[in-house]
């Protein structure tokens, strides 16, 4: 890293697991509070106050879960791939840990999107699963997540696992537009044109406001879950370090995290 004075100081700080641990420790309670409030408010709004769709009736309320989780599943994959790339290029342990922590969260988001999409499909299209372009793309995204998670699980050497999984995540990232395009094309061939599952054109404010609240709430939840997993990873990998031992020894006494 010689001669890299143009890197801002926070970039070096980020590389320190200890600094990350302390920073996330301060950030976590706030994020959790915001996430909790936004999700509760959003859900109540979506369930009780948003208008039902004139065609789909009340099952349209599933959108307020389906869309945010789909957005999160995709953002999380991008984050995982970028964190993996940073870990590969700059050999930053923290970046590897972030990528590792992202994977299960993103996979859960993909599962939520798929399950809610399937359940939404039943009253809308009459069957529990439809090979619709978006659902199929989300399924393939879930497969990509599972491949990355399997890669982490298969290798005991953590550094090697992180590198291999990062390469895989990046290859998957390049493939995602290709997969989307091919599934869209395949779907136009094999599916009669039906109205789309999400995002009717020009949603009125009573509909997109709660959706926005839910999307931001889900992002905050993602940050909370990521930070919690990251902190566990940091403790686990840095367990030999002095600051971790001091922390553990002081843990039951102070209750401060």
Partner 1 sequence: MANMHTNTAEVSLFTLFGAVLKRDLLLSFRNKSDLVNPLIFFVMVATLFPLGVSPQPNFLSEVAPGVVWVAALLATLLSLDSLFRSDYEDGTLEQVILSPQPLMVVCFAKVVGHWMTTGLPLTLLSPLIGLMLFLPAEGMFGLLSSLLIGTFTLSLVGAIGAGLTVGLKRGGVLISLVVLPLYIPVLIFGSGVVEAAAMGIPYDGFLAIMGAMLALGCVLAPVAISAAVKISVSG
Partner 2 sequence: MQFSSFSDFLMMDGHALYVWLSYGIAITIVIVNVALPILSRKTLVNNLARRIRRESKQQ
3-state secondary structure 30-63: HHHHHHHHHHHHHHHHHHHHCCCECCCEHHHHHH
Q: Greatest CA separation found in the chain?
A: 65
Q: Output the six-digit token pair for 83.
A: 């964190």
Contact pattern from residue 102 through residue 141 relative to partner 1, giving x for each residue in contact according to CB under 8 A and a dash for the rest: --------------------------------------x-
- Nearest partner of 83 among 1, 196, 149, 162, judged by Cα: 162
CB-nearer residue toward partner 1: 67 or 162: 162
Residue 143 interacts, among partner 1, partner 2, none and using kind-specific CB cut-offs from 5 to 8 Å, with partner 1
Residue 2 interacts, among partner 1, partner 2, none and using kind-specific CB cut-offs from 5 to 8 Å, with none
Q: How many residues bind partner 2 (CB under 8 A)?
A: 43
Distance of CA 35 to the CA centre of its chain: 14
- Nearest partner of 103 among 55, 49, 168, judged by Cα: 168
Task: Give min distance, CB of 136 to partner 2, in A.
Answer: 19
Using CB under 8 A, pick the residue from 16, 56, 59, 182 that binds partner 1: 182
Q: How many residues does the chain have?
A: 257
Contact pattern from residue 197 through residue 236 relative to partner 2, giving x for each residue in contact according to CB under 8 A and a dash for the rest: ------------------------x--xx--xx-xx--xx
Residue 153 interacting with partner 2 (CB under 8 A):
no
Identify the residue whose tokens are 């031992």.
245
Q: Enumerate residues 6+ apart whose C-beta is below 8 A from 228.
A: 28
Q: What are the residues binding partner 1 (CB under 8 A)?
A: 88, 140, 143-144, 146-147, 150-151, 154-155, 157, 159-160, 163-164, 167-168, 170-172, 174-175, 178-179, 181-183, 185-186, 189
């Amino acid at each position: 890293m010689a001669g890299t004075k143009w890197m801002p100081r926070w970039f070096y700080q980020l590389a320190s697991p200890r600094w990350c641990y302390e920073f996330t420790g301060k950030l976590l309670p706030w994020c959790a509070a915001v996430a909790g409030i936004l999700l509760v408010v959003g859900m109540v709004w979506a369930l009780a106050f948003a208008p039902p769709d004139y065609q789909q009736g009340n099952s349209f309320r599933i959108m307020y879960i389906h869309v945010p989780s789909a957005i999160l599943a995709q953002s999380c994959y991008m984050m995982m791939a970028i964190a993996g790339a940073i870990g590969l290029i700059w050999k930053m342990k923290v970046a590897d840990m972030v990528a590792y922590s992202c994977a299960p969260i993103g996979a859960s988001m993909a599962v939520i999107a798929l399950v809610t999409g399937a359940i939404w499909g039943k009253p809308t299209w009459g069957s529990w699963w439809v090979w619709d372009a978006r659902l199929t793309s989300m399924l393939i995204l879930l497969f990509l997540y599972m491949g990355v998670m399997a890669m982490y699980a298969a290798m005991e050497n953590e550094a090697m696992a992180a590198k291999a999984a990062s390469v895989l995540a990046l290859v998957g990232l390049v493939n995602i537009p290709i997969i989307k395009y091919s599934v869209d094309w395949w779907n136009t061939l094999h599916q009669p044109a039906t109205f789309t599952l999400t995002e009717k054109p020009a949603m009125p404010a009573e509909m997109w406001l709660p959706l926005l609240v839910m999307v931001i709430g889900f992002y905050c939840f993602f940050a909370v879950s990521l930070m919690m997993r990251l902190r566990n990873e940091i403790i686990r990998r840095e367990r030999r370090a002095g600051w971790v031992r001091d922390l553990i020894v002081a843990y039951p006494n102070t209750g401060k995290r």
